[in-house]
Amino acid sequence: MAIFKGAGVALVTPMKENLEVDYDKLDEILEEQIAGKTDAIIICGTTGESATMTEKEHVDVIKFAIERVNHRIPVIAGTGSNCTRTAIELSVEAAEAGADGLLLVTPYYNKATQNGLIAHYTQVAEAAKIPSILYNVPSRTGCAIQPQTVAKLVKDVEYIVGVKEASGNISNVAKIMHLCDGKIDLYSGNDDQIVPLLSLGGIGVISVLSNVAPTYVHDMIYEFFDGNVEKSCRMQLDAIPLVDALFCEVNPIPVKAAMNMQGKGVGSLRGPLTEMEPQNKEVLRKAMMEFGIL
């Protein structure tokens, strides 16, 4: 059984003025997401600025989300690392705290071989012993997990059940589904490719767009599931200008700016990320107004 089906939000981490985690605000946006029909919370992923968190902060934020959500929808913890030992420690702590699943990014900077990825993922998943989703985002990590490697891991490792595909390579996604004979939970990692991946057998998305339009993303997916493919496709195409604006600078710079424009008060970003450039912010503001969320 899949960890979740539908729209999972890659949640931002709100910050105070001193750049400490704003737990009161985190509580608010968790409630807003649940009310907005989001199907799962993905906490401490790329969008959550996990790369700038201490290990203690990382674990504390995961535990907070699990406690506040309290089984209403699944909580998936981003616990990947470029250090296998660190990934194991974070994953075991998340599992013990009650996470419903893990999101495990490919080891960044080290650029492991495919055999190295197999060893890394096998050790992490078997230590944590909860459902785990591989996260393929070579544009950020410099390390791609090949379709054959995905298929081997899903076949050989009990707890590896899915893949978040953010490579943008539709041909590779099709190859993954072919090699796995469809027996893998496929999630889009790109908001501009949700419907295309659903057409290949995907069951949802791990979405940045859901931070600002959770109901829309949920409905787009369930229109597809309900057989209203043309409407789902139209929703996908209508969202493209906003998605482009949300990625006109490196994520999560634009999405935090967008949420602040909406009055959500999620604060600033930890370095080396900086505030959005004024000209890009105006592009984002216009896209949000045209989309009807501002």
Annotated catalytic residues are 135, 164
Residue ranges in 36-169 assigned as alpha helix (H): 55-69, 84-97, 114-128, 138-141, 147-156
HEC string for 11-64? CCCCECCCCCECHHHHHHHHHHHHHCCCCEEEECCCCCCHHHCCHHHHHHHHHH
Q: Which residue has the tokens 């050790």?
A: 123
Tally the C-alpha atoms within 13 A of residue 54's C-alpha that lie toward its C-beta. 6
Inter-CA distances, 267 with 21, 62, 221, 247, 252, Å: 9, 19, 30, 18, 12
Q: Of 272, 246, 281, which Cα lies nearest the Cα of 19?
A: 272
The secondary element (H helix, E strand) that includes residue 273 is: none
Element holding 142 (H helix, E strand): none
Place of tokens 């912010």: 281
- Burial bucket for residue 70 (CB in 10 Å: 0-12, 13-18, 19+): exposed
